[in-house]
Amino acid sequence: MKVGDKAPLFEGITDTGEKFSLADYIGKHNIVLYFYPKDDTPGCTREACAFRDNWNLLQGYDVVIIGISSDDVESHKKFKQKYNLPFILVSDPDKKIRELYDAKGFILPARITFVIDKKGIIRHIYNSQLNPENHVKEALKALEMLKKEEESIS
């Protein structure tokens, strides 16, 4: 996957046990899709809480946040409740979504964030295992760029 590619569509199950389809959001919202290794581990918790702590700011960009790991629905549910996460977590136990986005990693599953515009085009990719909190900062920069582009068109 690279910037400019069309975001692959996928379906999964959310932390509430409901079916999720990325296609339902394309054309309606910007999307931040972030892959992380494991629920309730130090780096993944810092990353999720950074998205949570910037929730109000993120909402100014008409964005849907989706976190994806291979954890099961029950693990996602506990993780979301424990840290009061206001966004969707999708379970990818067979790692098929990860493969679609080439977000496999080496020793650990990759920590990688994709910013997808309303047309379904990948506009920014940030890949860093070592700086979990920077994922939200990078997403915000990309969303600000998208907002400026939208404003210049209208």
CA distance 120 to 79: 28
Query: In the chain, what is the greatest distance between 2 CA atoms, to the nearest angstrom?
Result: 46
Q: Known catalytic residue: 44?
A: yes
Across the strands, what pairs with 6? 121
Identity at 95, one-letter amino acid code = K
Six token digits for residue 118: 């309303």
Catalytic residue among 32, 44, 58, 122: 44
Angle at 115 between CA 111 and CA 119, to 5 degrees: 145
CA distance 70 to 137: 24
Helix, strand counts (H, E) of the chain: 5, 7
Give me the active site residues, please: 44
